[in-house]
Amino acid sequence: MLGRRSEAGFLAEVARDWAHLFPRLPHQSEANRRIHWLWGASGQLRRYLAAQLPEDDCQQIDTSALPVKHASRVRGPDSWTGPDGLHARSGRDAAHAEWFCGFRLAIKTDLGSRIVRAWSIVPAAVNERDVGNDLLDTGSPPRDLLVDKGFNGKAFTAGQAARGTAVFLPPAKGKRHRMLPILRKIIAEWRNRIETTFKEITGQMELARHGAHTFWGCSPAPPRSSPPQPHTSVPGQSIGQPT
């Protein structure tokens, strides 16, 4: 939350500026272990707080690139391996018009409050409609769902309609001129909400500049040695409640 990139630097800052509040500080290695032990408890607390707020009738889902290394530095198998055979692979980042090596972060959020209701770390090159179905299986189906063009598909739309969810897709460039300006503005503002959420997650939480060397170093889920959290793992994906 304070934007400190180094545990050693943070502990030094606490000892220097907040010594009156923390007279006894653990060594960095012990602090690191305690932080990992608390991941499960902090995740449960966040889930509890999120559950106190009712879900919006309108929700949205999208994915964003989660690079772990530059595509030109890929030389073969490495330590970027997650659960259920999930590996860092090459994919296309349409937002920045570039290739990357890593994973994708998929989220489901409320349209109004932007609270993250479900998240998923998936392969870099993945069918977004399959990811969307998994995210929407978490929680009750929304009345309306705003998606991007990556989720466009008759089967996906029909499947959600059977659950009582109407899927709304922003118009393609060739069709935008047929829409009323006020409608284009509303859709753009709605889409900006999930982009803001991604910016907060990948920017303020530094997932885009995580500096990690393994999957568990940049994942919202805890490492295997930490206390378990309630989340569902499916082949090639890591699905969970917001943590």
Helices (H), the chain: 7-17, 28-37, 39-51, 128-136, 154-162, 181-199, 215-218
**CA 158 from chain center: how many Å?**
26
CATH match for 56-240 among 3.20.20.140, 3.30.420.10, 3.40.50.300, 3.90.1640.10: 3.30.420.10
CA-CA-CA-CA torsion for 225, 232, 85, 91, nearest 10 degrees?
-110
Separation between Cα atoms, residue 12 and residue 30, nearest integer Å? 14
Length of the chain: 243
Spell out the domain ranges in the chain: 56-240
DSSP state of 87: B
Return all residues near 74 (Cβ < 8 A) that are at least 6 apart: 90, 101
pLDDT tens digits in sequence order for the chain, 243 residues long: 565 667 788 888 888 898 888 888 888 888 888 877 887 787 788 888 888 888 889 999 988 888 887 767 776 666 677 777 788 888 888 777 888 888 888 989 888 888 888 888 888 888 899 999 999 988 889 999 988 888 988 999 999 999 999 998 877 777 777 778 887 787 777 777 777 877 777 666 556 555 666 676 665 544 333 333 333 333 333 344 444
DSSP state of 200: I
Separation between Cα atoms, residue 141 and residue 159, nearest integer Å? 11
